[in-house]
Structure formats: C-alpha cells, structure tokens
Chain A
Amino acid sequence: MSDGPAEVTYRDALNQALREEMQRDDGVFLMGEDIGRFDGAFKVTRGLLDEFGEQRVVDTPITEAGFTGLGIGAAMAGLRPVIEIMTVNFALVAMDQIVSNASKIHYMFGGQATVPMVIRMPGGAGHQLSAQHSHSLEAMFTHVPGLKVVVPATPEDAKGLLKTAIRDDDPVIFLESEGLYGKKGPVGGEDDLVPFGQAVVRRPGRDCTVIAHSRMVWVALAAAEDLAAQGIDVEVIDPRTFRPLDLDTLAESVRRTSRAVVVDEGWPECGIAAGVATHLYEACFDWLDAPIARVNSADVPMPYARNLEQAAIPQASDVVAAVHAALGREAGA
C-alpha cells in the first residue's frame, strides 16, 4: 500500500489546530473546565498545559456564564480566547453572555469593539446520556446574527475550520460532535485553513440531494451506500458552516437532482433542517419534483433507554426512507 497522508483522529486534529495557533499567536489562550491538568473532558487539550503553561491553558471553576463572559471581555481587549464549554448542554447557562454580549457588542457600539473569540463545545446524542446531556443546539446559535456557527464533520475540517475560527475577528460558535472524536482521517498542514461559507460535496450523485452536517454526514453517507445498492444515486452535501451558509452550492445541487432531504440531529420545530429547507424552497421551488423531506431527532426530550434513544436519533434507515419519500417510492420498493 502506498502511504497516503497520515490519518489522525478528529480529537487530535483539534489539538493540532490549538497548538499551532497558540504557537503562532501569543494572544491565543484556552480557558475551560478541566482542560489543563485533566487534558479536557474529551482530551482535546491534551499536553497543552505542559507546553504553554497556566497562563495560557486555564482551568476554571464550574462557572460557564462567568468564564464565557470573561472571554468576551478579554477578546474586547484584543486577546483571542478559545473557550471550551465541556459540552453544549452547559452553554445554556452561558446563553446570556453569548447572545446578549458576544453577538451584539460589535454592532451595538457602532464598531468600536470586536469579539474575536471561539467557543468550542461538543454536542449530540447517542451515548445514553438522557435528556439533559444530549442536545444539538445548532439552531439556537444560528438564529442569532453576530455569531458565526461552525459544524465540522471530518478531522480535516475540524482542524482547518478551527484555525480559521481562531483567526476570525468575530465570535465563533464551534460545535464538535461527541460521536466523532475518535474518527480518523487525513488533516491539512499548518497553513491549510478551511474557509467559512463553503459547503463541500461529500459524495456526488444524480437522484437526490442529501444535506447533512457534523456526525449526520456519516449517517447520510451510510444511507447513500444502502441506496446505491438499490440503484439510487444520492449526492451528499455538508454545509460545514451555518453562519455563513453557502446556499449556492446546496441550491445548485438541488436544481440538478430536483429532490432534497435535510438531515439534522436537532429537533424538528424551527430547526436547522427547517431553516435550510426554507432557503431551498425559496431558491429552488420551480425545480423541485417533490416536497423537501426532513430527518430530525424525535420531538421529545432524549430518553435514556437504549432502544428509545436509538429510535429518537436519526439513523441511516431514516435517511433511506426520506430519500424514498422524496423519490415518490414506497419504503423498500
């Protein structure tokens, strides 16, 4: 076998991005619960305390609103904080800081201050963590002008998008997936930045466009394999960022295939899939041969029991069924 580019995990890809950007810019510092001595709840910050010291890798008390706000203030003063919130579920207690301060400060004060910060946090369900630890809150953050919202699905994007996020002058909500930390793949080098606002085609196809992000990209790709075996050729597109959103790439595909399915681990009401579908209706109505189908988590608080949890989360089979529906076929036909 010829040796391709070295494969690293999504976790280590993030770690590389942090290390490289901290080496590049001494205004970059990390702050969060258990990120130093403990290497982070998901070990993303492993080794960084030893390399950069306590001033730049800061273990905080369990005080999300406080240290998120601290990061905003430090960013206003020109530093580049990367705040780790242990999981997205705990961002809810920091929501006021994110929505009322981080997203508003540049506009509200007439451009006198900027907030160049990143808030990293993993989310998603699938580990039987039940109702309070299984959120996918992309829609909440994407709702808010002034934030940028990034949702990497691969190690390469995790690294390249995080580097872009750290160098960006606006507050960036960087949503990782708990289910992807161990996922391996090639990553770019020190200067390989992945730009915001550029969707990527993960699998080209003719019959139906499937739009998915983060862990759902892999679910959609698995569904695409099953569908290929049935002679159905779907195109899988990963938006990679929701603010900004590359509607052009999505719409171009949908105009070609005339059918679309949007997959999103969040809830259905006013969710990401609903928002993307609305944009597609506005942009592609005359090209559509069928209603756009959505695949979401069930409209319930996440249950604990394994079978119920799996039933609540989008599965490849749900995507297959949605594509069948978009193609006007009976399931299994």
Chain B
Amino acid sequence: MTHTAPAAQPDHDGMRAMFRAMTLIRRFEERASDEYMAGRIGGFLHLAIGEEAAIVGTVSALRPDDPLTSTYREHGQALARGSDPRAIMAELLGRATGLCGGRGGSMHLMDRDRSFYGGYGIVGGAVPLALGLAWATRYRGGDQVSVTMFGEGAANQGVVSECFNMAGLWDLPIVFLILNNQYGMGTPVERAAAAEDFYPRAAAYDIESWKVDGMDVLAVRGAVAEAARLARDERRPACVELLAYRYRGHSMSDPDTVRATEEKERWRARDPLVTFERVLLGEGIMDAEAIAAMQAEIDDVVADAAAFAEESPEVPADQLARGVYAQPWNDDARGSALVRP
C-alpha cells in the first residue's frame, strides 16, 4: 500500500476529522477517569486532557504507516491512530479483549496494525526504540518517518541526548516531538532544566528544530508536517517542541495541588477543543448542530467502549506465562527458566 503524506494545511474534511479525534480523546479519557474512580482501572492512569491539540496535530500530519512511539500518557495516540476504543478501554480494565490482551494496561498500549509501536513507562526509555525504527526504515530503503513523543522531563534523560547525537550523525528519518507540558509530575520546568527551551538541545546535534504552540492544533499539524517532510524527503532528522499544558494532575493519584490556580485558569482559557471549535464555527466548517451531532456520536462510542470493556472476560489465569518468549522452550503455565519435557 502506498500512502501520500498529509498536507501541512488540512482541508475541511481533515479539520472535521481532527476535531472529532480531539473530542474522542477528551470524552474517552473523562470516561476512563470515571472507570478509575469506580475501581475498575488499576495501577497508574495518566490523562492527556489538555494535550489533545499536540496529539491530534501530530498524528494527523503523519502517514498511517509512519511508526509512532509514545510514553505512558498515550491513550490519545492510540485513539488518533484509529485503534478500536473498545479494545483500548478493555486494556485499561485488564481484560482478555484488550488491545494487548490485558498484559500492558494503560501505560502500554500498542497497535502494530496501525504502526503504533507503543507506550513506555520508563521516562526517556522509548526514544532509542524510535531511533531503531528509523534505522530499520532506512536499512530497507523505506520512506516512512519514525515519530516519537516524549515530555520535557524525559528530555533531561541522557539517553535522549544520545539519540539526538546518533540521529544527527547518521541523518536518520526521525522526528522528535518534545511535548512540553511544563511539569514533570510536580516539578516545574524551571526547577528541572537549566534553560527554558528544549528544542535547542536537538539543534546542538545538527538537527533542525523549533518550537510551536502546542495548544493550537493547526499550528502543531503544520510544524509536524514540515518536520516529517524534512525527514522523509530530505532525509534529515527534525525536532519540534510543543508548548502545552495538561489539565489534570500527573496521574489519577495526583491531587494536583502544586500548580497555582491562577496558572491553571490561564491555560484553561486556551482549551484546545474550545479554540478549535471557535475556528470551525467562525469559518463555517461546522455549525453548532453538526458539532452537537458529532459529540453525541462520540458519547455513544465511548459508552459502548466502556460497556464492552466491563462485560469482557478476564484473562484466563492459565495464560499467565504465555507469550514471555516468542520462541518458548516449554509449556509451563507459571513460567520458568527450566527446560521441561
């Protein structure tokens, strides 16, 4: 299958699709929050509410076969890539029907069929994997671009600088997206980083890099399209810093008391869904009726996903040790290093 790269400026259908994806992420995560509060989701649950423009602007600028990697805050990437909301919610609930069969949970979604190469829980740890995906593309002479999204907190990890260096050294087809939501858990950027901006770090490794407003979905789309063009057509890595804000705490267990109310309100006033809706209405791309209909349709999708997940069976316990190895040496249900007949 051949794909054409999306244009930097979406057409009206494209804009409607982007708004739908942003709304789906928002509503899906609000429902996930409810499921967590009801005790049906365990572990960590990191919501990206507020970051929908960064996610959808990015994914909409890529070809569907461009390998994408993310962090543990990745429900939005999976949804934007078109993964089945039922399978995502079922994964969050740890059910057999989940996207990863209940093995990964909220932090570790993957959808290979959609070239979504996964969410990873070690801060900064997935960036070299994205470099490897870019390496494989070039090795085989493909024209895909590997795209990896990570936080400004992750940008402080040494391995990220290692990857900037190798990407610049070998001109790998990769786009680094630094989603700067200005906090690493409860630590604000100015208490963690020596310099305010992160994109110049990539520039130091001969990587074209710049910063955009991550709350503006069209600005993100344009920037990522340009970055992907550089990587695809000019075979040069690129890096874009997306300045954004998350509206919820770091995860569901964070009461979000560190950030000042005034600051939160200031960023709330720039809600990417509200501002994009205004654009769509103002330019006559959607009317209020169409928006209401779309929201109702999404509410149905989300309710259906939650019902599906809740009704789905648990993972059979005899599956515990299945899939530790692609080439296993025995059939031991508990897993074991021992060779057994």
Contact = CB atoms under 8 A, between A and B. Distances in A.
B132 interface: yes
A284 to B, nearest CB: 14
Contact of A113 (B98, B117, B158, B330): B117
Contacts of A198: 339
A238 B131 CA distance: 38
A66 B166 contact: yes
Contacts of A174: none
Size range of the interface on A? 35 or more
Contacts of A242: 337
A100 B123 CA distance: 11
Given A55-B139, A73-B136, A110-B101, A66 B326 contact: no
Contacts of B110: 109-110, 112-113
Interface in A91-112: 96-97, 100-101, 105-112
Given A74-B135, A77-B132, A279-B338, A110 B329 contact: no
Nearest to A247: B338
Nearest to B341: A248
Contacts of A10: none
Contacts of B67: 77
B103 interface: yes
Contacts of A5: none
A69 B103 contact: no
B282 interface: no
Contacts of A78: 136
A113 B112 contact: yes
A47 interface: no
A62 to B, nearest CB: 9
Contacts of B130: 73
A267 interface: no
Interface string B249-279: 0000000000000000000000000000000
Given A106-B323, A244-B339, A246-B339, A73 B329 contact: no
A323 B118 CA distance: 51
Contact of B330 (A74, A148, A244, A279): A244
A67 B326 contact: no
Contacts of B126: 101
B82 interface: no
B131 A73 contact: yes
A289 B134 CA distance: 58
A69 B337 contact: no
A29 B132 CA distance: 12
A116 B326 contact: yes
Interface of B: 67, 98-104, 108, 110-112, 117-118, 120-122, 125-137, 139, 146, 158-159, 162-163, 165-166, 169, 323-327, 329-330, 335, 337-339, 341
Contacts of B129: 69-70, 72-73, 76, 101
B128 A79 contact: no
5 contacts: A68-B128, A73-B146, A109-B118, A110-B99, A112-B111
Contacts, number: 166
A168 B327 contact: yes
A108 B136 contact: no
Contact of B120 (A60, A101, A142, A170): A101
Contacts of B122: 96, 100-101
Contacts of B165: 61, 63, 66
Contact of A63 (B103, B162, B339): B162
A83 B339 CA distance: 27
B324 A145 contact: yes
A71 interface: yes
A315 interface: no
Contacts of B158: 65
A146 interface: yes
B324 A107 contact: yes
A29 B139 contact: yes
A75 interface: yes
Closest 8 interchain pairs by CB?
A73-B132, A69-B128, A66-B162, A77-B136, A110-B100, A110-B101, A73-B129, A169-B326
Interface in A257-305: 279
Contacts of B121: 100
Given A97-B128, A244-B329, A146 B324 contact: yes
A196 interface: yes
**B104, B112, B127, B162: most-surrounded residue (chain A CB, <10 A):** B162
Given A63-B162, A70-B128, A246-B339, A197 B324 contact: no
A210 interface: no
Given A65-B158, A69-B127, A170-B325, A109 B108 contact: yes
A110 to B, nearest CB: 4
